[in-house]
Structure 1
Amino acid sequence: MFDLAEFFNSNLGVALIGGFFGSAGGAWGAQYIAMRSLRHKDVQQDLKHLNAATLLAMQIANSALGLKNQHILPLCRDYDQQLSDYLSERPVLHLLESDRWQFELNLENLPSFSPSVLPLENIIVSKIFATGREISAVSELIDSISRYKSAIDTRFEAIKKIEPRMQEPDVLALYFGLPQTNGITDATYKTSIEALGEYLDQVIYFSVTLSIDLSARAKRLVDTEHSLFGCSKRPYIVSPDWRSVMDNGLVPRAENFPRWTGQFKKI
């Protein structure tokens, strides 16, 4: 009768059983290494896309911040001050039967602003598993840039109506969006100035927000998958720092966008 216990204790039994478990363990180990290598490659690819998207959002934000600081903010501030001064002096000018003013109308040509959002949109929509907040932010960014360009065009058309009337009494009413002598109010130029400031602020907010969110997501990915990197140096992550422009008020606060921020949990 075959003795199973004696077989297992024999040299042949030990060799066969050891070979079987050795082969199984080796196959499992090889599969584990292959899966780990594949996961490492996927994470590196995700980080590459996240870093690229963060940089693209930063480039748009920096362009918009430069435009605001050098052109739009001074334009809006000067216009508001001119309007305030004119409204305070208007009764005196009326009594003196004069409509002269002590300032120059600011009708300067503004630089074009056409940042390419398509590469950023492509990464968020096609390359990464984007969150609803990220998709919404890039959509708002695209819309804001489009609206800003429309405001530029509207101001240009308003300037074409103002310039031929520079010597007419109604030129200030046209410039400030006040009733003219014929009773007509044309606030095209005034609303275009307001729109430029509003829409550029939206461009800044959503591009800055995207860069912060994408960088934070890359950091969470590295923290979650830290075991893949072992003792090696942590992967490079693009980390935007907007503290200075936030402190000086160039970046709008999230409180200015309650309807948008209220849709998403804070990351």
Structure 2
Amino acid sequence: MKEATSGNTGHGIAKICKALGIRCQLIMPAGTARGKTNAISVMGAGIEVVLHSDPGETPVERARREGAQEGCCNLDQYANWRNPWAQKTYLAPQLFAAAGTVSLVSVASGTMGTCMGLKQYINEHGLPTRVLPVLLTEHQEVPGARPLSKVQQDIKLPWQKLFTLDDIELGTRHPSFLLAYYSWRVLPQMLGPSFGLAFQGGLRRIQKEKLAGRLDALRIDGKIDVVLVGADSYLPYLDLFLGETQSDERHTYENPDLLALAV
């Protein structure tokens, strides 16, 4: 088994392969947080993490190339229709059953599968909710997310049929860590930087709609309810959080201006 991943999906694949006795090689970007690689490496024999740093070939392209070799397999979460299908079938019903009808769902996007699945569910059920894919500004890095250039290069899922470029928001690294850090004060779970990126994107989009005079279009029954999807824990990134937050005096603020952090 060969698969490109920056974390969560690879961890799940590794567990399944370990249980079934299938050899698994996970190809991860060279800059992947040590906590992520360690969590997979400790699974032992048959599970291998390969750090990829070739600028001429992305980890996804390498996994596809090597997975096509005899005796190998590549599930390819970046092209596999089961990715958005699973989000539509399992995540979406649980999310909307818990949250009700909301104005906006903001998702830090790595494969676009979650956004596609949520959007398909919304369309099929006639819901007024908007889905906001949040990608990275070019040359920024947040674990689990991609810039638009990498989305266009690596992802073969037909996300363009559901989203235009105007439907996408962009975010940056440092605010993602700070916003995730501040969320720990009010949320029951301490979520990771991809949650902070979704938080940043949601704030940016609401501010844009306000400045454009379109804020009322987001209201449902007079309210604007926003869901921020958080897919990872802070634990694998603890050293990164220390570096990103301790170097910014705003991490000590009792009541920070969250919008100022996002924009």
TM-score range, shorter chain: under 0.3
The higher-RCO structure (CA 8 Å, 6+ apart) is 1
Question: Greater share of helix residues, 1 or 2?
Answer: 1
TM (normalized to structure 2)?
A: 0.21
TM (normalized to structure 1)?
A: 0.21
Question: Greater share of strand residues, 1 or 2?
Answer: 2
Say which one has the larger Rg. 1
